[in-house]
Amino acid sequence: MEIVDFLQLMMENGCSDFHITVGSPPVYRKDGKLIKYCELGQGINPKNFIMFKEDTENLARHITPDDKWLQLQDNGEVDFSYAVNGLGRFRVNIYKQRGNISIAIRAIPFEIPTFESLKLPYVISEFSRKPNGLVLVTGPTGSGKSTTLAALIDLINRERNCHIITLEDPIEYIHKHKQSIINQRELGSDTKTFANALRAALRQDPDVILVGEMRDLETIEIALKAAETGHLVFATLHTSSAVQTIDRIVDVFPASQQQQVKVQLASVLRGIVSQRLLPLIGGGRVAALEILIVNSAVRSLIREGKTHQIYSIIQTSSKEGMLTLENSVKKLLREGKISQQTALLELPDDQEIKAMTSMISGDLTINGELI
């Protein structure tokens, strides 16, 4: 089979990811779960459809540009985007493992999702209307960070007259010029590093800058400077909560600079959205969110290094639009969108959820253990 045949099956079945590795049948991810190729209705015994070294290399070579293939040989991994006319766009990561080649492919919709389709709280859209500052979207890999950011950038593009620069690895959603003009730069083909691109962006007359990921001290330092000098900066981090995000940024810097960074961060930070995707009852996934809106109390706690108290502010500031992950999960449970088991896997020690579970479905077990 050609790679396009596998991708066709991926799109027809609503899968988010596709994996090819030596010694295994092709595997898809749907609604967060891994499904073997034969289980998508193809009627093929997986024992008779194992990928061999030559198979993965041929498939990888077929879709990899020459310059990216050389990068793979030098670095052991490479990222790039791949498009199939009439089918879709995909984010591809090819990497070496035990001397073999493996491929991970993620589907990227042609259409940029709207806030309405994502069912995100209205308060998140307000971040797109800030004149300047730093807005962070965080969460583990595969939690929908890029999709949320694409919706925010598209909202700015529709509502405001701006110059938007995005720095991505690789470019996922393709934005068209609307009220704004958008220049999208890809790591590797358009620029070498996020830090270099971000430093250059400050000389390119941007109003809004999107940084695909704040990976290192230099990138974080320049992003803070950009937000401080009047730009609206969006970025991602692989952190699981607002408090952890703030601590991670501060801890990246040497101890001698951390107090200065706390003051700087308190001044420029506008909000943090931490998210993860949970399986919906009946199929699909839904975002559970933690939302921090930076007000005077939060700024004071950041400056004083008392970030452990920020969670209490999130808990007591729901009228401002703030939301804890705990309350988000409980809301999804009450609305019947997620199962009791899903809620307990996210919040295993929560007594309220345990009580709700007992009332709704009686005793519940997870992995064979009574809860």
Please state the domain extents for the chain. 3-108, 115-334, 340-370
**Separation in Å, CA 194 to CA 150, 167, 201:** 18, 7, 10
Tens digits of per-residue pLDDT, 312-360? Answer: 999 999 999 999 999 999 999 999 999 999 999 998 888 888 777 665 5
The answer to whether residue 311 scores a pLDDT higher than 90 is yes
Residue 125 · residue 225 · CB < 8 Å: no
pLDDT at 60: 96
pLDDT at 1: 74
pLDDT at 101: 97
Sign of CA dihedral 124, 127, 133, 137: positive
Lowest mean pLDDT among 16-25, 129-138, 159-168, 358-367: 358-367
Spatial neighbors of 224 by CB under 8 A, at least 6 apart, are 134, 261, 264, 265, 268
**Percent share of the chain, pLDDT over 90:** 78
**Percent share of the chain, pLDDT over 70:** 94
User: What pairing do the DSSP bridges indicate for beta strands 33-36 and 27-30?
Assistant: antiparallel
**Separation in Å, CA 182 to CA 262, 274, 304:** 31, 26, 38
Task: Give the start-end residues of each E strand in the chain.
Answer: 17-20, 27-30, 33-36, 77-84, 88-97, 100-108, 133-138, 163-168, 181-186, 208-211, 232-237, 269-279, 285-293, 365-366, 369-370
pLDDT at 358: 62
The answer to whether residue 46 scores a pLDDT higher than 90 is no
Residue 341 · residue 368 · CB < 8 Å: no
The secondary element (H helix, E strand) that includes residue 358 is helix 351-361
The answer to whether residue 43 scores a pLDDT higher than 90 is no
The answer to whether residue 44 scores a pLDDT higher than 90 is no
User: What pairing do the DSSP bridges indicate for beta strands 269-279 and 27-30?
Assistant: unpaired
Lowest mean pLDDT among 45-54, 75-84, 320-329: 45-54
Nearest-angstrom CA–CA distance, 244 and 311: 10
Average pLDDT for 121-148? 95
Nearest-angstrom CA–CA distance, 234 and 334: 32
What average pLDDT does the structure give for the chain?
Answer: 91
Tens digits of per-residue pLDDT, 210-242? Answer: 999 998 999 999 999 999 999 999 999 999 999
Distance from chain centroid for Cα 230: 25
The structure's pTM equals: 0.85
189 by DSSP, 3-state: which?
A: coil
The answer to whether residue 90 scores a pLDDT higher than 70 is yes
Tens digits of per-residue pLDDT, 178-188? Answer: 999 999 999 88
Q: Which residue has the tokens 């920020």?
A: 310
pLDDT at 47: 55
Written as one letter, the residue type at 111 is E
Write out the two tokens for 290: 């933690």
How many angstroms separate the first and last alpha carbons of the chain? 46
Look at domain 115-334 and name its CATH class.
Answer: alpha beta
**Domain 3-108 is found in CATH 3.30.450.90:** yes
pLDDT at 363: 45
Instruction: Establish whether domains 3-108 and 115-334 are of one fold.
Output: no
Which residues on adjacent β-strands are paired with residue 232?
A: 133, 208
Lowest mean pLDDT among 12-26, 40-54, 195-209, 255-269: 40-54
Tens digits of per-residue pLDDT, 27-36? Answer: 999 988 999 8
Average pLDDT for 241-260? 97
Q: Which residue has the tokens 């590795």?
A: 21
The answer to whether residue 148 scores a pLDDT higher than 70 is yes
